[in-house]
Structure 1
Amino acid sequence: MTFENTIRAGLLAGAGALALIAFPAFAAEPVEAAAAEAAPAPAAGLPDGVPIEEIVVTATKRETNLQKTPISISVVNAETIRERRVQSLLDLADGGVPSLRVATFEARQSALTIGIRGIVPLDANQPAREQGVGIYIDGVYLGRQHGLNTGLFDIERVEVLKGPQGTLFGRNTEGGALSLISKAPTGKFGGSIDGSIGNIGSRSGAIHLNLPEVIGFSVKLDGVYQHQDPVTKNPMPNQEGWGLFDRKGFRAAVRWNPFAGLTNDFTFDIARDENTPFYSQLLNYNPNNCQSGGSNSSPLAIPAGSTCTTPGTAFVGTQGTVRALLPGVEVNGDTLMRTADIGVPQRRSFDETHGFTNVLKWKIAPEIELRSITAWRGVDVQQWDNSGGAHRVPVVNYTPACTVNGPASCTFSRYSLADLRQRQFSQELQAVGSIGPVDYVAGLYYFNEHVSDTAATPNSMRVIYNTPTQATYVPNVFCTADTPDFVGKAVNGCSIDRASQVSSKSYAIFGQATWNATDKLHITAGGRYTWDEKQGELVYSRNIDYRTNPAIAAANGYVPLDKKWRRFNPLVTIAYDVNDEVHTYAKYATGYRAGGASSRTSDYRAFNPEDVKSYEIGLKADLFGRRARLNLAGYIMDRTGSQVDLSTIQPTATGNFNNLVTFNAPGTTKIRGIEADLTVKPVSRLTMNFSYAYTYTDIPLVPVTYTQFSSTGTALFSTTVNQKFYIVYTPRNAASASIDYDLPEILGGARPKIHVDANYAQATQSFDQFATKADSSFIVNARLSLLDIEVGDNKLNIGLWGRNVFNHQYVYRRDPSNSLPAVQTSGPAGTNVVVIGNNGSVLGDYGNFNMPRTFGFDASIKF
């Protein structure tokens, strides 16, 4: 058995052991300490068995001890961020917090899909669709998933709050909240300079500077730079490769403390992330053994048990020709391709984020502190995604007709171009305090967001036929027109696939109070009443300007979005302290995600909110004199109105199109889970952590109707099928473990330290309408540090780091849409093509691999 397999087996055995603990109790509150460890204590001068440090969190809008806070929380602190080399939120995709799932949207680094406890939006890339997990930076909600992968500044900790957080954190937090807390100015001169170099051309640097307090003002400045060369090279000269990033950012924080009890924090930040998508490889060829031949009038029968059927359809036969591989195209489902098979045009995408935040806290009396959080933020995106080459639609029909001026069927390499502009303003007022045995939080919230986007998908390459086994590939001329009514640079000049603009407003009043009935019993009740408004319009669809072609828009059934929703989300928690070391709780909470409209449909199809009810019990225990910490949580969530996505045929005034429709699934989606965390510190130098998450999800069967229309829009045939949908990026079992060991001091006080963490996740779906799963993952990271080296009056830290040290390669995103028959849009009169699949676009699954092994050296000097 290899060393890697030994670790994997140990991790799975530990998961089983924790599951045996958690299942009978079903009373849990995980503090996934694989990523939740507090800063380690100095190694020297401490007796064996030094207690595990307390962790302070602000999940209840006040500073509390994590172990006494009746919420399921994981904490990733600054030390853990350094040990695991977390440069951006995408680095948390390795699974260090098992309940937290992070993935790219499509293959793009410019937008992240973030889920907690099975609440994962597949396509929050749409301007009129919301996330299910709220992302907060210093208390400010970030409205879009775009720009989330910019480099992190000087982060003190990341709090992962699991389960609905609708009472105190607000809108779109039905799955939980991811709260990033930055380090505040100290008022004393000091700081650090960090630098790192590594393989794949990686290099990074950061400076963090605290200036002395002057007349009550303290200033902190942070600058970051992060770079990585392409992971996959592009054979086309003068074009970018895939998987690169180049991030720059600056943040300035000013704290004003004119007198005791009043603190005002003003921050400004700006960041730019230049990146390219990860390469989308062809993983297999015709894996479902689809057959060529047949016709609409005489289709090939589908044998019993055949996998050449598309989920949710009623196909009884197929017709069409399975496409042959283009000359030079490689099939590789085992390893990440470090050089692409066919070079294609590829530019860098740009994400630019900026914002101003002002947080005022005024302790006007011992019983009350008033707070004001005011923020204005913006995101600008130019997307250039040509990651799929010849591996994704359109699939080329390679024949001698493919000449320099051949038909459009000889073009390929879909270049997904998009521009997005988002601006948001938010204002939150809070009153926080205690009156006798009651701790309370009350407040008002306002959020205003404007988003506009435009997208185009031109084919960037053309194949020229030489022989059946040899072809010439040349860039295709595209985007030669001009579209002056759009500011975006990526789409300008292209045929516009879609464009929309949306305005969203949210108002809320909230309150929560905890009655400390006795020293042991604590009862919390709260609620938030929310008013959400959303107005949007589809400006372009399939290059038709709906503003100048209202008749076509009306014929397509287009209706602008103008919706209002009201929700009251209550919370009740009963917490009981068994003793000073053991704390239990039971909680009921609800949450909801606002509705919207799909800009990927020609009628701007609207959908309603989804709602969730959560029942949770938890246990938090410090054992053996705080040498061990065990936290368990068990929960049941029932979600109604689940927002799911379906690629289906939609009739329009200019023909039938395959659109992505978002709708609310009927019935109740079941989500059940157990989370467990164990931290053991048997001696002062050694800390071991283990975390485990079990998540069961089930969406009831959804009736889907496929309808064939005539050229005049008359319905000819309809077929209804009960289709199974899945929750994406949610493994049934996930686990993480870590070991930190401080060696004896050397060199007059320098502290050697070893860190190793291992992270496992079971295979899960990448698309909610396909049962096809991606691969399971197993990632091991390691670091060897030498800390607190004296350099004059300063301290130097150096380290060797490695991520994915065993170079485990797995497909984290698998798309089977190119390996299954397509629902046809048209056919001969009298033929029900909705039950006859078309194999004309069958090629194979394509997908994306995780990052390969990365390693390097870093240094940080503190002054």
Structure 2
Amino acid sequence: MALGGASSAWAAEAADAEGAIGLSEVVVTAERRETNLQKTPISVSVVSAKAIEDRHIYSLTDLNDGAAPGLTVTPFASRPFNVILNIRGVGIMSDTNQPAGESGIGVYLDGVYLGRPQGLDAGLYDLQAIEVLKGPQGTLFGRNTEGGALNITTKKPTGKFGMEMLAGLGNYGSYESQFHLNLPEYRDISFKLDAMIQSHDGWVKNPMAGQRDWNEASRRGLRAQLRWAPTDTFTADYAYDTSHTEDTTIFGYTVKAANNVTISPLSVVPNSRIDVAPIGSYLQPSLGDTYGHSLNMRWDVLPWLQLKSISAYRNLYQDQYSLPGTTGIPITANLGAGQNFERLSIAQFKQDQYSQELQAIGQVERLKFIVGGLYFRETTADQAQAFNTLHWDTNGIASGITPIVYTPFGNSVLGPNACLTTPAACASNYNNFYGQPGQTTLVQGLYPNIGVDRASENTTESFGVYGQATWTPPILEDRVRLTAGLRWSKDTKDGQLLVVNNARPFLPDANGQLTNVQGVVKRNQSWQRVNPMVNIAFDVTPDISAYAKWSTGYRAGGFNSRSITYSSYDPEEISMFEAGVKSEFFDHRARLNIAAYTGDYDNIYYNITANYNTFTTDPKTGQLVVVSGSTRTIEDTYNMSGKGKVSGVEVDFDLAPIEGLIISGSYTYASTDMPLFADPVPRPQINSAGVVTGYALNTPTVYHQLYTPENRVTGAIDYRREVFNDATLSLHFDGAWNDGQYSSTGDVSTGTKDASGKTIYLPQLKTEAGAIYNARISISDIGLADSGARLAVAIWARNLFDSNLLIGRSGSYIQPSSSVTGSFNDPRTYGATVSVKY
């Protein structure tokens, strides 16, 4: 697909440099080789380096402003470092934070697959482009690309001296700095160094002394690159990158309280963002560290054959502190004072990965081809602890309720270090103020006086062999191109569940039923898939081409570490047909690209939660009774029967009516129809005496695909002109609107049944419809005396008109017993930057 307001800025930059009016060629690598976007028969959106600058994009999460039409980017609300990606209604499951779980959108950095969604909020700097490949990419890119892929490329060493320094300040205490250095080539070796720092304060202040605010973010990163080019036919690119992030949780809002609760005197029920939380909480940032090595080698063996090797090792460590905050706590009427609230989740995630890919790329007469093979291995491990940090005092509602503060070390009554000086004071507490102390020695928790909720490890190995060829038959003046591809993949996962609910898990028997024997649950499973692709393209005229494509993809299966049985699930699969037209007209001053698609979405897996209960048989009555129950849920993942359906239309245009002016826009329509959710887990029916009276399945319900607006519109205006002494004035304005998306999968149960005995559900809420606008004004290429340096100054704003939109929302305004909760979009941010380039 075309640029959709993103890469048009890139096109304008090139066109102006040539002194012409029009749109220049855009080069992409969607077919693992450089091709002209307009001649590439696949739907692609490109966010160029200029667009990244104009939109003040510092991480993938900033792409939620519509920079890449059709791509949804959402930070996982409780863990903003875990980035959720969705393309065409495909790519998300409820929990992508697990060691054996996978995302459905592949992310590649200079050809290296990034195996985890954790850490994708790391800083982006000095990029060449971000290509968004839409639809299944299972042939050339492999596993976990059923929705599409993000292909991120960095700028390479130039071999010529160059240096740029940038500094900036903004509201919310934000600051930023970048440094870029290219050294002259020496003995065929070129060197490039890039570094960045970016930070802002929280959007919502935390009134608890000594604690961090909500929605803080801080990023820093460094990348060093060496290019060795001893001949014109061989190039070796080595890169090392490291990054550090600090994020606090996105603040959670209750915008409508349920009618079966008593609202505390401290509560507020806002209808827009607030600046200060009414109740403070124990909060600290999640710390993320990643680093990686990569070596890309290219050898032109023959005039018609090129060999490539992509080797990489990456390591990720993530501390996870998740506490969403609150605008107030509805106190359940039958509990009143004494209720616990504000759940803090403390987790740790580790991952390292190694990958090796080999490619042979060539062209023989009318045949272009690529064949390759990939080996990928990763090891992952996690653990999590959770407890409530606040507790209402016991004075009663009438006298005014105040919270008692609990931390991993003590509380505001016993003392801040009571858990350290008098461990028994915490060990005797069974109300989950702290969580029960550790009951297993298999895993040492981050905090020893809090139980370990879960811990697991997993190793994944993946092999892939693929080939793709494009043939231009000697007919119709060489205007037809036929492409076919095939990939074989094998995934093997070897995992073990060490702890669940603060104890060793119960081992299943041969039939999968739980026994009373505890131990480490081990799983080993393999899956194989073959993914074909066929494509036919036809050049109607030199400036108009049409194509039709059928492709497939899959998301790998895995194991659910929140399950007491460590349940496994099979891969999801998708088969999609796409047809499109790409056109240029008005002497290359206008582009209009249109694509339509429809696909079958099969084996979709859902996460299913249930209360964690243990039972025993009463020796007198023979009845099964509850020994203990917990409102803390466990989770299993199941592949649903039936097929889902995804379909839609994507329209992009770019127009250059006069010199220096580019107008661009896009419209996407996406329809998703998920199979009916049929809960496969029989739920125990428990009476007031704790006796199990039977088992029943929940009523099948409608489940919604997440993060997929049905209608989206984006637009951008870019204008550039020389103003004085070769200086250039640049004006940028963009906007993006959508009509809302689901952020919670299921509809809301009323708790009542119809005449046939089926539970009645009310429609789940979508996020709020609305638009967000960004703007930037800059003057660049200002000469600094005779130094040869060029100065640039800019002012920028994101969410220019300070829109207040609930971008995460769930619940029901209609159902009295349902609350409505969610989170708001980022407020207006603005600032100024100054840069000097040599």
| TM-based fold match above 0.5 | yes
Change (3 A) 1:161 1:65: same
| Alignment partner of 2:502 out of 543, 553, 558 | 543
| Residue identity opposite 1:475 in structure 2 | V
2:238 aligned residue (258, 262, 266)? 266
Partner of residue 781, structure 1: 774
Partners of 1:715 and 1:769 lie apart in 2 by 27
Residue 495 (str. 1) matches residue 424 (str. 2) = no
- Residue 385 of structure 1: which of 322, 335, 352 is its match? 322
Correspondence list, 1:99-498, <5 A: 99-121=70-92, 122-286=94-258, 322-332=260-270, 334-389=271-326, 396-397=331-332, 402=337, 410-466=339-395, 468-469=397-398, 470-478=400-408, 480=419, 481=437, 486=443, 489=446, 492-498=448-454
CA distance in 2 between partners of 1:117 and 1:499 (Å)? 33
Shift of 1:159: 0.4
Distance across 1 between alignment mates of 2:161 and 2:365: 40
Per-residue Cα deviation, 1:278-320 (whole angstroms, up to 9, x for no partner): 110111112xx5xxxxxxxxxxxxxxxxxxxxxxxxxxxxxxx
* Aligned-residue offset at 1:410: 2.3
Q: Secondary structure at the match of 2:53?
A: helix
Secondary structure of 2:262's counterpart equals coil
2:684 to 683, 708, 729: 708
2:575 corresponds in structure 1 to 613
Change (3 A) 1:374 1:652: farther
- Give the stretch that moved more between structures: 549-558 or 133-142: 549-558
Aligned position for 1:583: 545
Is residue 711 of structure 2 the alignment partner of residue 718 of structure 1? no
Name the counterpart of 2:761. Answer: none
- Higher RCO structure (Cα 8 Å, ≥6 apart): 1
> Would the aligned equivalents of 2:91 and 2:146 in 1 still touch at CA under 8 Å?
no
In the TM superposition, residue 476 of structure 1 has moved relative to its aligned partner by 1.8
Q: Give TM-score scaled by structure 2 length.
A: 0.88
Tell me by how many angstroms 1:647 deviates.
2.9
- How far is 1:51 from its partner? 1.9
Tell me, what secondary structure is at the counterpart of 1:851? coil
Determine if contact 1:43/1:751 at 8 Å carries over to the other structure.
no
Counterpart CA distance in 1 for 2:570 and 2:325 is 33
Report the counterpart of residue 536 of structure 2 in structure 1. 574
| SS of 1:683 mapped into structure 2 | coil
Match of 1:561 in 2: 523
Compute the displacement of 1:758 (Å).
Answer: 0.7
Question: 2-side partners of 1:210 and 1:667: how far apart?
Answer: 55
- Note the alpha carbon deviations across 1:185-208, whole angstroms, 9 max, x for none: 111110211111100000000101
Equivalent residues in 2 for 1:618-633 (5 A)? 618-633=580-595
Report the alpha carbon displacement of residue 607 of structure 1 after superposing the two structures with TM. Answer: 1.3
Secondary structure of 1:737's aligned partner: strand
Aligned-residue offset at 1:471 = 1.7
Q: What whole-Å deviation, never above 9, does each CA across 1:489-536 have from its counterpart, x for those lacking one?
A: 4x5542111111111110010000000114211100011000011121
Cα gap change, 1:712/1:445 in structure 2, threshold over 3 Å: closer, same or farther?
farther
Gap change, CA 1:713 and 1:141, over 3 Å in 2: farther
Would the alpha carbon gap of residues 336 and 575 (structure 1) be closer, same or farther in structure 2, given more than 3 Å must change?
A: same
Distance in 1, Cα, partners of 2:504 & 2:724: 71
Q: CA deviation at 1:552?
A: 11
State whether residues 645 and 768 of structure 1, in contact with CA within 8 Å, keep that contact through their aligned partners in structure 2: no
Secondary structure at the residue paired with 2:64? helix
Structure 1 residue 652: Cα displacement: 4.5
Q: How big is the alpha-carbon RMSD for the aligned residues of Structure 1 and Structure 2? A: 2.5
Aligned to 2:479: 520
Cα displacement string for residues 590-649 of structure 1 (whole angstroms, at most 9, x for unaligned residues): 001111122222222221111100100011101111010001100001111112223334
Deviation per CA, 1:169-224: give whole Å up to 9, x if none: 11100000011100001111102111111000000001011111111111111111
* CA distance in structure 1 between the partners assigned to 2:587 and 2:676 by the alignment: 51
Q: CA, structure 1 residues 136+556, in 2 after alignment: closer, same or farther (shift >3 Å)?
A: farther
Secondary structure, counterpart of 1:458 in structure 2? strand
Task: Quote the offset at 1:363 in angstroms.
Answer: 0.7
Asked if 1 retains the 8 angstrom alpha-carbon contact of 2:123 and 2:219, the reply is yes
CA contact (8 A) 1:380 1:420 kept: yes
Secondary structure at 2:10 match in 1 = coil
Distance 1:699 1:240 in 2: 40
Say whether the 8 Å CA contact 1:651–1:713 is kept in structure 2: no
Does structure 1 retain, via aligned residues, the 8 Å contact 2:15–2:21?
A: no
Aligned to 2:737: 760
Q: Structure 1 pair 157/401, CA: closer, same or farther in 2 (3 Å)?
A: closer
Contact 1:396–1:412 under 8 Å retained in 2: no
Following the alignment from structure 1 to structure 2, what is the Cα–Cα distance between the partners of residues 33 and 757?
8
Query: For residues 52 and 160 of structure 2, what CA distance do their matches in structure 1 show?
Result: 24
Given the alignment, which residue of 18, 23, 40 partners 1:52? 23
Q: 1:54 to 1:549 in 2, by over 3 A?
A: closer
Distance 2:357 2:16 in 1: 46
Q: Does 1:806 align with 2:782?
A: no
Residue identity over aligned pairs, in percent, reads 36
SS at match of 2:62: helix
Measure the CA separation in 2 of the matches of 1:492 and 1:31: 53
Cα distance in 2 for partners of 1:471, 1:552 equals: 46
Distance (whole Å) between structure 2 residues aligned to residue 426 and residue 375 of structure 1: 5
State how far apart, in whole Å, the 2-side matches of 1:246 and 1:115 are.
Answer: 25
Q: Deviations over 1:719-762 (max 9, x none)?
A: 3412111100100001100001124x223121111110010111
Given that 1:644 and 1:725 are in contact with CA atoms closer than 8 Å, whether structure 2 keeps it comes out as: no
Relative to structure 1, the CA distance from residue 43 to residue 703 in structure 2 (aligned partners, 3 Å threshold; closer, same or farther) is closer
Shift of 1:249: 0.8
Q: Which whole-Å CA distance do the structure 1 matches of 2:833 and 2:394 have between them?
A: 51
Q: Within 1, Cα distance between the matches of 2:449 and 2:7?
A: 47
Aligned residue pairs total 769
CA distance in 2, matches of 1:754, 1:389: 40
CA contact (8 A) 2:607 2:637 kept: yes
Q: Which of 52, 69, 82 is the aligned partner of 1:98? A: 69
Deviation at 1:555, TM superposition (A): 4.0
Distance 1:173 1:36 in 2: 26
Residue 639 (1) aligns with residue 598 (2): no
- 8 A contact 1:352–1:379 mirrored in 2: yes
Structure 1 runs not aligned, ≥5 long: 1-28, 290-321, 403-408, 822-838
**Taking structure 1 as the reference length, what is the TM-score of the superposition?**
0.85
- Once the two structures are TM-superposed, the CA of residue 250 in structure 1 deviates from its matched residue by 0.8
Confirm or deny: 8 A CA contact 1:30 1:675 kept in the other structure: no
> 2-side partners of 1:44 and 1:34: how far apart?
17
Q: d(CA) in 2 for partners of 1:94 and 1:170?
A: 28
Q: Secondary structure at the match of 1:38?
A: helix
Who is 1:87 aligned against?
58
C-alpha distance in 2, partners of 1:718/1:484?
A: 37
Distance 1:661 1:70, change over 3 A: same
Using a 3 Å threshold, how does the CA distance of structure 1 residues 51 and 843 change in structure 2: closer, same or farther? closer
Whether the 8 Å CA contact 1:515–1:523 is kept in 2: the answer is yes
**1:706: Cα distance to partner?**
4.4
Q: Is 1:78 matched up with 2:49?
A: yes
Distance 1:400 1:721 in 2: 30
**Residues 50-69 of structure 1: CA deviation (Å, up to 9, x unaligned):** 12011011111111101001
Instruction: Show the counterpart of 2:427.
Output: none
Letter in 2 for 1:686: L
User: Which stretch shows the higher mean deviation, 78-87 or 695-704?
Assistant: 695-704
